[in-house]
A and B are shown apart, each in its own frame.
Chain A
Amino acid sequence: QKEVEQDPGPLSVPEGAIVSLNCTYSNSAFQYFMWYRQYSRKGPELLMYTYSSGNKEDGRFTAQVDKSSKYISLFIRDSQPSDSATYLCAMSPDNYGQNFVFGPGTRLSVLP
């Protein structure tokens, strides 16, 4: 079992749909959880950064963390074609910026 698993995709949705992206993990030491968006031929861009369990909202994006289930989600409301990208979850047991474990990514296509 990999330390962080992510829905493999690819995922195609119509414009305006609500998108749910999910990751599961096995290491209960993870405390910090991040979602990145990576466009083709670009580096990852940080979307959401959360600590411990709970929800965090930023515009059309909502991140949820359920540490008891070792499950995190990213919801995108009113999805746009510009949201088409690969979404990576990442997590870390600490805040030293060295011990990230990334998921393999889910490729999302939002169709006009």
Chain B
Amino acid sequence: ETGVTQSPTHLIKTRGQQVTLRCSSQSGHNTVSWYQQALGQGPQFIFQYYREEENGRGNFPPRFSGLQFPNYSSELNVNALELDDSALYLCASSLDLAGVPKNIQYFGAGTRLSVL
């Protein structure tokens, strides 16, 4: 186990609704990244948070937003849900520290979101 925990495990929403997903990073890790993994595909980078600020963003619309809290935990919010948002949402934590490769990320088990 990586020590990265996500909640809830599963979620069912209807089109147009809003959803909030939560992530607790591994102890001591100060950077959190979020990914979307569609069925049969590899994860796609949504955004990354460091020191409570968005620190980089992939090709996702503004209705995908996030927060990071002082304890480094994080939320992913998705507004105006669309059917194509159905996917596994993964959170990964890493340590932003000199000499530590930032590409070394530890993933949680994910939240499976179904949009009907």
Q: A residues engaging B (CB < 8 A)?
A: 4, 32, 34, 36, 41-46, 49, 88, 90, 92, 95-105
- Chain B neighbourhood of A104, CB < 8 A: 40-42
- Chain A neighbourhood of B17, CB < 8 A: none
**Residue tally, chain B, CB below 8 Å to A:** 27
- Closest 9 CB pairs between A and B? A102-B42, A43-B107, A97-B102, A98-B56, A44-B107, A43-B109, A98-B48, A43-B108, A97-B103
B104: interface (CB < 8 Å): yes
B110 partner, pick from A43, A45, A98, beta carbons under 8 A: A43
Main secondary structure on chain B at its contact with chain A? loop
Q: B residues engaging A (CB < 8 A)?
A: 2, 4, 31, 33, 40-45, 48, 55-56, 58, 90, 92, 94, 101-110
Contact (Cβ within 8 A) B109 A42 = yes
Q: A42-B109, A43-B2 are in contact. Are A32 and B40 (CB under 8 A)?
A: no
